[in-house]
Amino acid sequence: EAGVVQSPRYKIIEKKQPVAFWCNPISGHNTLYWYRQNLGQGPELLIRYENEEAVDDSQLPKDRFSAERLKGVDSTLKIQPAELGDSAVYLCASSLGQQQFFGPGTRLTVL
Amino acid sequence: QKEVEQNSGPLSVPEGAIASLNCTYSDRGSQSFFWYRQYSGKSPELIMSIYSNGDKEDGRFTAQLNKASQYVSLLIRDSQPSDSATYLCAPLKIVGTYKYIFGTGTRLKVLA
């Protein structure tokens, strides 16, 4: 069974530029999560989807971050414009039931 | 007070010894508990889940849960150098929300 797929794996951009991350969850997993992980910290939830509905986006900085999950399968997370403090690893995860599985992540560096 | 507290370590144990990793949580609304292993530069990997008080064993791993004390632990028997990683504790809050709350992790070093 294929795991959670994310792309790109690495991204380096200059501040104020836009960036987008893509995630394809494990087949059949209707719950999808986007997390941000800073160095030395645990993952922090940005947004959770149940199928195509964003059911928890309370931690998503909505002035610059947006996300979508069209058709309830793959998802895109966008930052526009990026700031220096957005440098982190962005993790996508999916679950069916309570067991959650992570993708490899996208390491974002904002210069 | 942090919602999930873990000793950041590093916890150093000799090869073959038992490694004991501890986690306390503050929210009694947490019902299920998960342990993730994260190698440096990699994403978290689910290794154990526990839902009720007591012990749960899976190979060399044993998870222990005490909801009254709001304490969950992970024991790794016969520790190997390949177990060297950061171990993240993640209670799942389901009262008023549905969210995994991750600790900052404990870094384990198994010395050959």
The pLDDT tens digits of the residues spanning A16-48 come to 999 999 999 999 999 999 999 999 999 999 999
pLDDT at position A35: 98
Q: Amino acid identity, residue B44?
A: P
Contacts of B111 (CB under 8 A, 6+ apart): B12, B13, B14, B15, B81
What distance in Å separates the CA atoms of residue A66 and residue A20, rounded to the nearest whole number?
9
Q: C-alpha angle B83/B87/B89, rounded to 5°?
A: 150
Q: Which two tokens stand for residue A54?
A: 């964003």
Residues of chain A contacting B34 with CB distance shorter than 8 Å = 98-100
pLDDT at position A1: 67
Nearest CA to A25 among A43, A1, A8, A45? Answer: A1
Which of B25, B97, B100, B107 to probe by mutation at the A interface, max A CB count within 10 Å?
A: B100
Q: CB distance from A102 to chain B under 8 Å?
A: yes
DSSP per-residue letters across B12-49: EEETTSPEEEEEEE--TTEEEEEEEEE-TTS--EEEEE
What does pLDDT average to over chain B? 95
pLDDT at position B1: 74
Residues of chain A contacting B98 with CB distance shorter than 8 Å = 48, 55-56
Is pLDDT larger for residue A71 or for residue A14?
A14
Q: How does residue B2 score in pLDDT terms, banded at 50, 70 and 90?
A: confident
Residue B23 CB coordination number (10 Å): 24
Nearest to B99 among A45, A89, A99 (CB): A45
What does pLDDT average to over chain A? 95
A103 CA: distance to closest CA in chain B (Å): 7
Q: Is the dihedral of CA A103, A109, B3, B7 positive or negative?
A: positive
pLDDT at position B16: 97
- Put simply, the answer to whether A43 touches B44 (Cβ < 8 Å) is yes
Say whether pLDDT at B89 is over 80: yes
Q: Are A42 and B105 in contact (CB under 8 A)?
A: yes
- Put simply, the answer to whether A48 touches B98 (Cβ < 8 Å) is yes
Tell me which chain A residue has its CA closest to the CA of residue B100: A45
Q: Which residue has the tokens 């995994």?
A: B100
Q: How does residue B6 score in pLDDT terms, banded at 50, 70 and 90?
A: very high
What distance in Å separates the CA atoms of residue A60 and residue B76, rounded to the nearest whole number?
36
Q: CB distance from B95 to chain A under 8 Å?
A: no
Q: How does residue B112 score in pLDDT terms, banded at 50, 70 and 90?
A: very high
Share of chain A above pLDDT 70, in %: 99
Rg for chain A, CA atoms, rounded: 13
Q: CB distance from B99 to chain A under 8 Å?
A: yes
pLDDT at position B21: 98
Residues in chain B, how many? 112
Q: How does residue B29 score in pLDDT terms, banded at 50, 70 and 90?
A: confident
Q: CB distance from B42 to chain A under 8 Å?
A: yes
Bond before A8 cis per omega within 30 degrees: yes
pLDDT at position B108: 98
